[in-house]
Amino acid sequence: MRKFLRLVYYWLPPVIWMSIIFYLSSRLHAQVTGKFLFDFLIFKSLHMIEYAILYFLLLRAFYSISKSYLTINHKFLYPLLISILYAASDEIHQTFVPTREGKIRDVFIDTAGIIMMYIYIKHNISAVKKFLN
């Protein structure tokens, strides 16, 4: 039972976050200001933030695995790859949503958010460790 609770504690947050991203991607295209440039900057900034959070939650989940075959480098790399693949799948999903369009550009924008979080954590690992456990 304890193993199950540990699994839920670490793995449920990224699954919920991925579900939220999927839900938001399923909604019709929205505007905030009505001006293309401002809307573009606002929504792309939100993309970067949501995928940075996804990377952190996946890192936290992988960091909880204590298996010896999973090195610290794997614990940083696997969440990175999963986050990028999820960003790509999200863009594919958006091609099926009316008023939305999937663009490779958005995958790169999402990846920028993921990489920024990766770099931040790598440079501040001692401060971030308390959030990983």
Contact of 53 with 17, CB cutoff 8 Å: yes
What mean pLDDT do residues 69-91 have?
A: 94
pLDDT band at 128 (very low <50, low <70, confident <90, very high): confident
Percent of the chain clearing pLDDT 90 (strictly above)? 64
Asked if the model's pLDDT at residue 129 lies above 90, the reply is: no
What mean pLDDT do residues 82-100 have?
A: 94
Residue linked to tokens 């440039």: 37
How many alpha carbons lie under 13 Å from residue 20 in its C-beta half-sphere?
Answer: 11
**d(Cα 8, Cα 59) in Å, to the nearest integer?**
15
Of residues 92 and 133, the one with the higher pLDDT is 92
Segment holding 106, helix H or strand E = helix 104-123
